[in-house]
Amino acid sequence: MTTFADYDGQKPAWCPGCGNFAILNTLKRALVDMDMEPHHFTIVSGIGQGAKLPHYTRCNTFNGLHGRTLPVATGIKLANHDMVVMAVAGDGDCYGEGGNHLLHAIRRNINVTLLVHNNQVYGLTKGQASPTTPQGRVTKTQPFGALSSQLNPMALAISLDCSFVARAFAGASGLPFLKEMIKEAVNHEGFAMIDILQNCVTFNKVNTFHWYKERVYELEEGYDPTDRVEAFRRSLEWGERIPTGIFYKNQRPVCGKDITPLQKGPLVGHDVFSVNLRQESALFY
């Protein structure tokens, strides 16, 4: 059995009061629940505040480039499908710089769990608008307010028929819920995305902890996460009331162990130098 302490990592460099702490701790609790040993999973992250997370726990880590978590995670999962792979990214990381990879990771339906630390702002670079920043918000680089509409990650993922689409809130009330969601996402076969609403005490003075707390609620019991159109409808709710929970799931084919070259087991276990040159050259004679 693993314990919370098994996941002790470096000391976080986050601001006191930052929502990232709650996400980190909840992730650790979920890992304890799943009894997942640190070497059994890999966290891939990009660059941003949230993306520093893997250093603050213990796990195999690929802390790569800003925006490029999902391709790296895809490569890892295809090379070793026995490895549990998670990706951790910020809203800028994942919906801005890395937007194209999100589209295609969803389409590919790789068996990876994506946690988006969505603080609706670029934290590490000090407060510019991110794709989830509400339209019109003024920042130092958006002097006339953000010109673009706020990206709706739930609607986007549902439109792409994402295999598992959820939203959570990194506040005390939401944490047990987030923990269960993470476990379900990790156990889900296919691409699972959880957009986590997270306060940034330093650069987002509007969507504060309390702002979220007053608005978030859980999708009601009986909500049917397999109805794509209904999921889409609910994904459009944002304002006075913000639903959290699993919006949508499906069981579509996974790009993973069933594809031909992986049927003999993870690539990483295959023999390396087993190809016969003469045989492979046959067509050249």
Partner 1 sequence: MELTIRIGGEAGQGLQLIGTVLTTYFKRLGYHVFTHQDYMSRVRGGHNFYQIRLADKPVCCSRQQVDLLLALDSNTIDLHEDALSQQGRIIYDSEMCKRQGVGRHFLYMPFTAIVKELAVAEVMVNSAAVGAVIGILGLDLQPFAEIIADFIGKKGTEVVTTNIKVAQAGHDHAVSDYAGLFSLPAPEAGLQSHILINGSQAMGLGALMSGCKFYSAYPMTPSTGIMVFLAAKAAEHGLVVEQAEDEIAAINMALGASYAGVRAMTGTSGGGYALMTEGVSLAGITETPIVIAEVQRPGPATGLPTRTEQSDLFFVLYGGHGEFPRVVFTPGTPEQAFYLTNKAFHLAEKYQIPVIVQSDQYLADCQWTLPEFAEEGLLQEDFRLRGQALQERESYQRYGYSDSGITPLAVPGASRHLVVVDSDEHDEDGHIIEDAETRNRMMTKRLFNKLPLLQAEMTPPEHYGAAEPDFLLIGYGSTWGLLKEVVDHCPPQKAVAMLHFSEVWPLPLSDTFDYVALLEQATTICVENNATSQFATLLHSQTGHRCTHRINRFDGRPFTLDNLMEALNDYLC
Ligand X SMILES: Cc1ncc(C[n+]2csc(CCOP(=O)(O)OP(=O)(O)O)c2C)c(N)n1
Beta carbon nearer to partner 1, 222 or 285:
285
How many other C-beta atoms are found inside a 10 Å radius of the C-beta of residue 210?
A: 10
CA distance 153 to 166: 9
At closest approach, how far in Å is the CB of 30 from partner 1? 19
Should residue 119 be labelled a site residue for ligand X when binding is judged by CB under 6 A? yes
Should residue 130 be labelled a site residue for ligand X when binding is judged by CB under 6 A? yes
Beta carbon nearer to Mg ion, 43 or 219:
43
CA distance 97 to 240: 29
Using CB under 6 A as the binding criterion, the count of chain residues that bind ligand X stands at 18
Q: Residue 48 binds which one of partner 1, a second copy, ligand X, none, with CB within 5 to 8 A depending on kind?
A: ligand X
Tokens of 64: 């790569």
Q: Which of 46, 67, 123, 245 binds ligand SF4 (CB under 6 A)?
A: 123
CA distance 109 to 127: 32
x/- letters, 24..63, toward ligand SF4 (CB under 6 A): -------------------------x--------------
Should residue 20 be labelled a site residue for ligand SF4 when binding is judged by CB under 6 A? yes
Q: What is the torsional sign of CA 46, 50, 54, 55?
A: positive
Beta carbon nearer to ligand SF4, 88 or 162:
88
HSE toward the beta carbon, residue 260, CA cutoff 13 A: 0
If 0-12 CB within 10 Å is exposed, 13-18 middle and 19+ buried, where does residue 128 land? middle
x/- letters, 32..71, toward ligand X (CB under 6 A): ---------------xxxx---------------x-----
Residues 89, 94, 95: CA angle, nearest 5 degrees: 145
The answer to whether the CB of 185 falls within 8 A of the CB of 191 is no
Q: Residue 236 binds which one of ligand SF4, Mg ion, a second copy, none, with CB within 5 to 8 A depending on kind?
A: a second copy
At closest approach, how far in Å is the CB of 117 from ligand X? 5
Should residue 119 be labelled a site residue for Mg ion when binding is judged by CB under 5 A? yes
Tokens of 119: 């603080």
If 0-12 CB within 10 Å is exposed, 13-18 middle and 19+ buried, where does residue 226 land? exposed
Task: Give the footprint of ligand SF4 on this chain (CB under 6 A).
Answer: 14-15, 18, 20, 49, 119, 123, 200-203
Task: Give the footprint of Mg ion on this chain (CB under 5 A).
Answer: 90-91, 119, 123
Task: Give the footprint of ligand X on this chain (CB under 6 A).
Answer: 47-50, 66, 90-93, 97, 117, 119, 121-125, 130
